[in-house]
Structure 1
């Protein structure tokens, strides 16, 4: 197995990586872009739950995330659907097909999580403001 990995690395270094060097400048630009546009997963979940207080399609969720300045999915919208599927598996949202559209909405468990987040947010704010 180790020999195959060494050969793969050699082939990649002599081929793809040689033709497309990953310079420090490219690394810095990539890091800067990631830090500017990507929301942490926990925040992203909160935004999706807030958006889904009313039933929406995946595309509508995408548009509203972009409106909020969350650009995690601009390059690959498929990742949004992976996140939505994960939220479904965690029973925070449910989906159903209607007229060739898949619609997503919060479950009671999702609403409860959203309410708890809002309560924590308000209690932290009150603590910081000295109330």
Structure 2
């Protein structure tokens, strides 16, 4: 085991990444890209909350998001269902199963209140959604 760790250390020292250097501009560009992705996540989150004011299945929700131009989850359906699970766990949405085995999602009273708060205070949207994401 010790020998494998030593070999790993040697290979990491010889890695092309070892010679990379980041200046302040590189760091700034990377942070900007990270923040843009976070904003997109918040936009998706906000759209999901708006769409779930009426009961929808995951398929219907995906279709509605697609019609809004949100395609982030198309190659990764797990993203959408992970988001739905997180919303359900925090109490912002509830789910139920119908007789055909389809799962339906809808906002709870708690979810409706937080959505109304976000919609009424557009200038504070970022803060409200951050509160939402953190549960």
Shift of 1:64: 0.7
Are the aligned partners of 2:55 and 2:105 in contact in 1 as well (CA < 8 Å)? yes
CA shift in 2, pair 1:96/1:68, >3 Å? same
User: Which residue in the other structure is 1:6 paired with?
Assistant: 8
Report runs of 4+ in structure 1 exceeding 3 Å deviation. Answer: 36-39
Where do 1:85-100 residues align within 5 Å?
Answer: 85-98=85-98, 99-100=100-101
Shift of 1:45: 1.3
User: Which residue in the other structure is 1:68 paired with?
Assistant: 68
Are the aligned partners of 1:38 and 1:72 in contact in 2 as well (CA < 8 Å)? no
TM-score (norm 1): 0.65
- Is the partner of 1:59 in helix, strand or coil? helix
Gaps of 5+ in 2: 16-35, 126-135
Where do 1:32-71 residues align within 5 Å?
Answer: 40-71=40-71
Shift of 1:41: 2.0
Aligned equivalents of 1:5, 1:104: Cα separation in 2: 51
CA shift in 2, pair 1:115/1:100, >3 Å? same
Gaps of 5+ in 1: 14-35, 125-131
What root-mean-square deviation, in Å, do the aligned CA atoms of Structure 1 and Structure 2 show?
3.3
Aligned equivalents of 1:59, 1:4: Cα separation in 2: 50
User: Which residue in the other structure is 1:112 paired with?
Assistant: 113
Give the total of aligned pairs.
Answer: 102
